[in-house]
Amino acid sequence: MTRILKIGGSILTDKSRPLAARPEEIDRIAAEIATRPEDLVLVHGAGSFGHIPAKRYGLPQNFSPEGLRQTHLSVARLCEMVVESLGRAGVECLPVHPLSTAMLRQGRIESFFLDPIKKMIAEGIMPVLHGDVAMDASMGASIVSGDQLIAYLAGKLQSETVAVGSNVDGVLVSGRPLAEIKRDDLVRFEDDIGTSAGVDVTGGMRGKLLELLELADRGTESVIFHAGKEGNITRALKGERVGTRIVRSK
Ligand code: IPE
């Protein structure tokens, strides 16, 4: 059984400044992942490495080959930092770039070449994916967020745990994290659940929640937790209670 962990770009980078990685945070996260790396697929967000170039070139609405190249190279650089840090922490891992493995339609994953990911897991190597630009059958190209990737992969890999590390304590209502949320609750909390601070082209907390509610509807529950607080990633990987659980409507 695989497990999926997403670490938001807001934890790995300063989302308000271009190319501002947080190397100490990346190393801390790698050390926490190293406590329980078995059968784990890591997906990380793009943070300022993705959202800022994407916005500069008007992606995904505007088709720009130069924008695609610049944005991809930028997020691939962040991925390289994460992979190097995990390697130093003793975790065998390899980068998997969605640009080269996914095909989208209307911004949604239509097909994905999963064989390398499955083989890596079988060989004890952690695949590391990230939010990326990708070719799109109807739009030329679009953006695939880490949240869309985890929802897709969790279904295809039949994951038992899906943990989404963000820079807030979960789904906040009046500043406090809900213990759990299901689709039926969405209308009631609509006004509280906003988009994220800083530059975000993939929908912030609302976009994240919609992906995870869809996943819950298909039978896989998940958790959104604060990955910037030391120890939380380790806790989430052990299946301990952290943050807000995204559960299926009864
Ligand atoms: C966005 O990825 C990808 C690009 C902008 C190219 P995410 O949506 O997963 O990134 P974060 O977690 O919000 O930073």
Instruction: State pTM to two decimals.
Output: 0.94
Q: How far is CA 162 from the centre of its chain?
A: 10
**CATH code for the domain in which residue 86 is found:** 3.40.1160.10
How far is 167 from 206, CA to CA, in rounded Å?
14
Number of domains in the chain: 1
Contact residues of ligand 1, CB 6 A cut-off: 8-10, 45-47, 50-51, 54, 71, 75, 131-133, 143, 145-147, 200-202
Question: What is the Å distance from ligand 1's center to 10 Cα?
Answer: 9
Ligand 1 atom closest to Cα of 200?
13
Q: What is the pLDDT of residues 213-234, one digit of tens each?
A: 999 999 999 999 999 999 999 9
Question: What is the Å distance from ligand 1's center to 220 Cα?
Answer: 22
Domain that holds residue 31: 3-246
Q: What is the pLDDT of residues 71-125, one digit of tens each?
A: 999 999 999 999 999 999 999 999 999 999 999 999 999 999 999 999 999 999 9
Ligand 1 probe mutation, 144, 145, 196, 208, most atoms within 8 A of CB = 145
CA–CA distances in Å: residue 10 to residues 14, 17, 221: 6, 11, 23
